[in-house]
């Protein structure tokens, strides 16, 4: 133990006005900084290989590493500091809020949505879910900024604000989603590569991207962020280019078919199927695909503990997420609906014998005689799918760490190395990713289907939980007589947006149950295999939920509002300080140019 700590514990004070808690905290911080300096000085004399190996040693953060917060009643309480690497600057977090998660769900599975829902069904479903996305991200941001250091972000808040069994089931299902998304995206990568080359063994492509992604995460949070930043730029350029390209082709400028207009909305039609029932069932089917497609938007709030300044970055993220919903998802898919008929045999997800599993964005060019552009689009799709794999490798290990901190997973999963990486979590995800080497198996399609069946409905539970979190948080504030002015970020719709989003998510679960019982294209006949392919996530959640209830012998549906530990892990913001900072920020903006003011308002 250092002399600083001994002096603090013995009651010797260098500054009479400081409390013993402040002295101990300062002593620990000084002692830790000295150790880090000595370690880095020692490591600097060694070669790169030794430094790399040493980086996996356990991080020497002490349990007493905390911040002291003062509640409005004047009481002190400790808020643990995050042990994870806080290396995401606003530049990277902004790019992530725009494009993280844009991959298979949009660029590949969008074809399945078009095939089963038709252009009108796709437009309705993605429009409704896009509205839900705003309420979800708004609610998640309020809770995330209030609890910025809780491991796992909104996932950990379930156990504080709702119920431990709900938390256990939902977080484990969320973890399973990202664990399965990693091999799922690797399989998709091999399919995308087959657009150019079908002679190379698909496992070769899986191996190349598998090794690349593992290497990226050896550089920690900053490595992930920088790679994701580059990927995001590529995706934005694709979408911007596709806007221009789609409009030109639709108007007859360059395509072999001349002016297209709304041709495919009339022939083969706006909806798939001949009856109103099949039209409605198609919309219900596409709703879940839309949840899967939009999946990943919540990662911008999940990693709030690794943001440099969450109070400033989160409001900006909410705005950017809405631009993402409108410009990255909705408008491009709407343009695809004007260029690709839903009954095209080459469309991904179609049942035609000659299906080539092509992305609808690639077909939008190739069907109209454009030769070079499909290759550029397919290249960016490859980057986008790699980006989602990258996000899965980022999210899943941190979820393992959050589960371990909550007591829902083995304690050794709390291992954080000296670079702030959850190393054991990354190792587990890498092992599970080996499933992707099933690409050469005759059962490849079944593996893909079962993996996606887990990932799809998980978002429904996660988004509903986020919204319930925010409602319960506001109820606890009201019960304890606390003002919402204490919040550094407040939702624009109060609790009503969250109530709508949670209710809509429940309706989606009911609609998917109907579609799973009477699937499209099966003459309405119920089949056990088809049912679980479409509804597997729900039984998994129920088993987790009831199993934890039995284990804990706690049969309450939720934590009573008077028992919610409102301030235990919350960061307390001083109302006067918040108002002063906001006034200073507005004053700074007032002296800047109109371009800076416009950017601050819209972004």
**Is the pLDDT higher at 553 or at 86?**
553
Average pLDDT of span 284-292: 86
Least confident residue range of 41-50, 130-139, 264-273:
41-50
Question: Domain limits of the chain?
Answer: 3-80, 90-564
Q: State yes or no: pLDDT of 319 exceeds 50.
A: yes
pLDDT of residue 68: 46
Contact 498, 143 (CB under 8 A): no
Superfamily of domain 90-564 in CATH is Amino acid/polyamine transporter I (1.20.1740.10)
Average pLDDT of span 273-289: 86
Q: State yes or no: pLDDT of 357 exceeds 60.
A: no
Share of the chain above pLDDT 90, in %: 13
**Is the pLDDT higher at 58 or at 218?**
218
Report the length, in residues, of the chain. 603
Separation of alpha carbons 474 and 471, rounded Å: 5
Strands annotated E in 264-374: none
Residue 212 phi, psi dihedral angles, 5° rounding? -60, -45
Per-range mean pLDDT, top range of 266-275, 277-286, 349-358, 502-511: 502-511
Place of tokens 């995401």: 88
pLDDT digits (tens, 9 = 90+) for 514-541: 888 887 765 556 777 778 878 888 999 9
Share of the chain above pLDDT 70, in %: 76
**Is the pLDDT higher at 218 or at 420?**
218
**Is the pLDDT higher at 77 or at 429?**
429
Q: State yes or no: pLDDT of 360 exceeds 50.
A: yes
**Taking Cα atoms as reference points, which of 172, 132, 136 lies closest to residue 156?**
172
pLDDT of residue 89: 61
Question: Does residue 553 come out as left (phi exceeding 0), alpha (psi in the -120 to 50 range) or beta?
Answer: left
Average pLDDT of span 30-40: 43
pLDDT of residue 265: 93
Average pLDDT of span 224-239: 82
Burial class (CB in 10 A: 0-12, 13-18, 19+), 131: middle
- Coil, helix or strand at residue 67: strand
Confidence of residue 326 (pLDDT cuts 50, 70, 90): confident
Contact 264, 364 (CB under 8 A): no
pLDDT of residue 587: 81
How far, CA to CA in Å, does 80 sit from each of 61, 63, 231, 389, 570?
11, 8, 33, 30, 10
| Residues near 264 by beta carbon (within 8 Å), at least 6 away in sequence | 119, 337, 338, 339, 340, 341, 342
pLDDT digits (tens, 9 = 90+) for 23-33: 334 443 444 44
Q: How many C-beta atoms lie closer than 10 Å to residue 348's C-beta?
A: 25
pLDDT of residue 308: 59
Helix 220-250 to helix 202-217 angle (10° resolution) is 130
Tokens of 348: 């991904």
DSSP 269: -
Residue 360: HSE in the Cβ half-sphere, 13 Å Cα cutoff: 32
Check: pTM over 0.85? Answer yes or no: no
Tokens of 27: 């002593």
Residue 365: HSE in the Cβ half-sphere, 13 Å Cα cutoff: 18
pLDDT digits (tens, 9 = 90+) for 91-126: 666 666 566 666 666 777 778 888 888 999 999 999
Separation of alpha carbons 523 and 493, rounded Å: 43
pLDDT of residue 34: 43
pLDDT of residue 470: 92
């Amino acid at each position: 133990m250092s002399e600083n700590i001994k002096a603090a514990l013995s009651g010797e004070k260098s500054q009479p006005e400081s409390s013993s808690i402040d002295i101990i905290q300062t002593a620990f911080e000084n002692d830790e900084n000295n150790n880090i300096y000595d370690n880095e000085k020692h490591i600097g004399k060694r070669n790169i290989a030794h430094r790399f190996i040493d980086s996996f040693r356990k991080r020497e953060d002490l349990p007493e590493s905390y911040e002291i917060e003062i509640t409005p009643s004047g009481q002190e309480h400790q808020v643990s500091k995050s042990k994870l690497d806080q290396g995401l600057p606003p530049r990277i977090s902004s790019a992530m809020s725009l494009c993280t998660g844009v991959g298979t769900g949009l660029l590949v599975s969008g074809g399945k949505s078009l095939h089963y829902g038709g252009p009108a069904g796709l437009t309705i479903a993605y429009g409704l879910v896009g509205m839900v996305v705003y309420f979800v991200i708004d609610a998640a941001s309020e809770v995330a900024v209030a609890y910025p250091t809780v491991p796992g972000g909104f996932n950990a808040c379930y156990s504080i604000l709702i119920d431990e069994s709900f938390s256990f089931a939902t977080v484990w299902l969320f973890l399973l989603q990202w664990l399965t998304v990693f091999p799922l995206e690797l399989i998709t990568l091999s399919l995308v590569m087959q657009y150019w080359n079908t002679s190379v063994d698909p496992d070769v492509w899986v191996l190349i991207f598998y090794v690349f992604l593992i290497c990226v995460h050896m550089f920690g949070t900053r490595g992930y962020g920088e790679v994701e930043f580059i990927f995001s730029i590529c995706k934005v350029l694709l979408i911007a280019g596709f806007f221009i390209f789609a409009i030109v082709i639709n108007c007859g400028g360059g395509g072999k078919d001349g002016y297209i207009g709304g041709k495919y909305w009339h022939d083969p039609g706006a909806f798939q199927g001949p009856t109103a029932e099949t039209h409605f069932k198609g919309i219900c089917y596409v709703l879940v695909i839309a949840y899967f497609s939009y999946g990943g938007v919540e990662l911008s709030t999940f990693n709030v503990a690794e943001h440099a300044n969450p109070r400033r970055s989160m409001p900006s993220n909410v705005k950017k997420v809405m631009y993402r919903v409108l410009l990255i998802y909705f408008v491009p898919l709407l343009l695809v609906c004007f260029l690709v008929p839903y009954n095209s045999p080459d469309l991904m997800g179609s049942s035609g014998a000659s299906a080539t599993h092509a992305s609808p964005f690639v077909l939008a060019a190739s069907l109209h005689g454009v030769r070079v552009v499909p290759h550029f689009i397919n290249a960016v799709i490859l980057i986008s799918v790699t980006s989602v794999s990258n996000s899965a490798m980022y999210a899943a290990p941190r979820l393992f760490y959050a589960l371990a901190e909550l007591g829902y997973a083995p304690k050794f999963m709390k291992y954080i190395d000296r670079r702030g990486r959850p190393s054991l979590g990354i190792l587990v995800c890498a092992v599970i990713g080996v499933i992707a080497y099933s690409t050469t198996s005759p059962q490849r399609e079944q593996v893909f289907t079962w993996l996606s069946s887990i990932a799809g409905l998980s978002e429904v539970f996660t988004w509903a939980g986020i919204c319930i979190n925010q409602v319960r948080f506001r109820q606890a504030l009201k019960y304890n007589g606390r003002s919402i002015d204490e919040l550094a970020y407040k939702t624009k719709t109060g609790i009503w947006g969250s109530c709508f989003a949670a209710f809509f998510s429940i309706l989606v679960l009911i609609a998917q149950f109907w579609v799973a019982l009477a699937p499209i294209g099966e003459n309405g006949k119920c089949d056990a295999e088809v049912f679980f392919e479409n509804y597997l996530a729900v039984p998994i959640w129920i088993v987790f939920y009831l199993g934890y209830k039995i284990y804990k012998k706690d049969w309450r549906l939720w934590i009573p509002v008077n028992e919610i530990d409102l301030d235990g892990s919350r960061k307390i913001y001083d109302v006067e300080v918040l108002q002063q900072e906001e006034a200073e920020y507005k004053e700074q903006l007032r002296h800047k140019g109109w371009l800076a003011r416009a950017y601050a308002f819209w972004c």
